[in-house]
C-alpha cells in the first residue's frame, strides 16, 4: 500500500470506528459493509498485482466487493446476537425477585395518634376545635 492510499485509509477507518455505536440493524449492516469493503480494498491492493501492476485495480475492486459482502453479513449477525442478549437480559431482570441482597430495607411507617381538642378561649382569642396529630412511635427501618 502506498503512502497516499494509507493517508486516506486511516481517517476512513477512524471515522468508521467512531460511528460504531449503531442501534439499528441497517446501521450495523452498513457499518459492517464499510469496514469490510475498506479492509477488502486494502487486501486487494496488497495482493499480487501481476506484471507492472496490471491487476492491482481489479484486485482492489474484487477485494472491496468481497470484503463489503462479508462485512455486511458479519454486521447483521453481530447485531442479531446483541439484540438477543439485550432481550435475554431484559427477561432476566423482569423475572428476578424485587429484593436483592444488599438492597435497602423498608422504612416502617410511624404510629400517629389523632386527638380532638375542643374549642376554647385563650386570653382575648378564641381557638376553634381541631384535630392534633401526635407521633407516638417514629418511623424506623424494618428488619428483613
Domain shared by 131 and 70, yes or no: no
C-alpha cell at 25: 440493524
Tens of pLDDT along 70-92?
Answer: 999 998 899 899 999 999 998 88
Domain that includes residue 129, residue range: 108-137
Whether residue 47 is predicted with pLDDT greater than 90 in this model: the reply is: no
Tens of pLDDT along 131-142?
Answer: 999 999 999 988
Whether residue 54 is predicted with pLDDT greater than 90 in this model: the reply is: no
- Residue 105 has a pLDDT of 80
Domain shared by 91 and 127, yes or no: no
Helix (H) or strand (E) holding 103: none
C-alpha cell at 83: 439484540
Domain shared by 55 and 113, yes or no: no
Domain shared by 36 and 84, yes or no: yes
Please state, for a pLDDT cut of 90, what percent of the chain lies above it: 32
Q: How many structural domains is the chain composed of?
A: 2
CA pair distance 106, 94, nearest whole angstrom:
21
Domain shared by 73 and 121, yes or no: no
Domain shared by 58 and 80, yes or no: yes
Task: Tell whether pTM > 0.95.
Answer: no
Residue 79: count of CB within 10 angstroms of its CB? 20
Domain shared by 19 and 44, yes or no: yes
Amino acid at each position: 500500500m502506498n503512502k497516499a492510499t494509507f493517508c486516506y485509509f486511516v481517517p476512513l477507518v477512524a471515522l468508521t470506528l467512531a460511528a460504531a455505536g449503531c442501534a439499528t440493524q441497517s446501521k450495523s449492516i452498513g457499518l459492517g459493509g464499510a469496514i469490510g469493503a475498506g479492509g477488502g480494498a486494502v487486501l486487494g491492493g496488497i495482493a499480487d498485482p501481476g506484471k507492472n501492476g496490471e491487476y492491482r485495480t481489479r484486485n482492489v475492486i474484487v477485494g472491496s466487493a468481497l470484503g463489503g459482502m462479508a462485512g455486511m453479513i458479519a454486521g447483521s449477525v453481530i447485531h442479531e446476537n446483541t439484540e438477543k442478549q439485550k432481550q435475554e437480559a431484559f427477561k432476566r431482570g423482569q423475572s428476578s425477585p424485587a429484593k436483592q441482597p444488599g438492597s435497602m430495607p423498608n422504612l416502617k411507617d410511624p404510629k400517629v395518634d389523632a386527638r380532638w381538642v375542643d374549642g376554647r378561649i385563650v386570653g382575648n382569642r378564641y381557638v376553634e376545635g381541631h384535630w392534633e396529630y401526635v407521633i407516638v412511635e417514629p418511623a424506623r427501618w424494618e428488619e428483613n
